[in-house]
Amino acid sequence: MTEKEKTEKGFSKGKSTVGECMTSEVIVAYPDETLTVVFDRLTTHRIECLPVVDRTDQKTIVGFLTFRDIEARYESELTRIHSRRSFTIEELESDEGDLNDF
């Protein structure tokens, strides 16, 4: 739920229950989707968390995926890639930031 939705649906109107404030059109992710696809969905809808549901039974939540989960995976992969790369002396001594180019 975006900040605007929170204001419009609940806090400013004195509503006090989850049912009165919740979004009923739930945006979900599926376990077989790529992180890129789900990241785009999160950013398009300006949300930070998605329920992950079974494709064959969409009422079954199998987990949750957050923006931070994707960010952590990205950072982990970058670290893995950087740790396996060999650098030349010229790259290490360069003042032009060539290490950021890969």
- The pLDDT tens digits of the residues spanning 64-79 come to 999 999 999 999 888 8
Task: Report how many domains make up the chain.
Answer: 1
pLDDT the model gives residue 63: 97
The answer to whether position 99 is within a domain reads no
> In the structure encoding, which two tokens stand for residue 14, read together?
């004195």
> Is the pLDDT at 98 greater than 50, yes or no?
no
Asked whether the beta carbons of 69 and 59 are under 8 A apart, the reply is: no
**6 in a domain, yes or no?**
no
* Residue pair 48/29 in contact by the 8 Å Cβ criterion: no
Evaluate if pTM is beyond 0.75. no
Q: Alpha-carbon distance 42 to 67, whole Å? A: 7
- For residue 74, give its domain range: 25-92
Amino acid 9: pLDDT = 59
In whole angstroms, give the CA distance from residue 71 to residue 78.
Answer: 11
The verdict on residue 15 lying in a domain is: no
C-alpha to C-alpha distance for 45 and 40, rounded to whole angstroms: 8
What is the identity of the amino acid at 95?
D
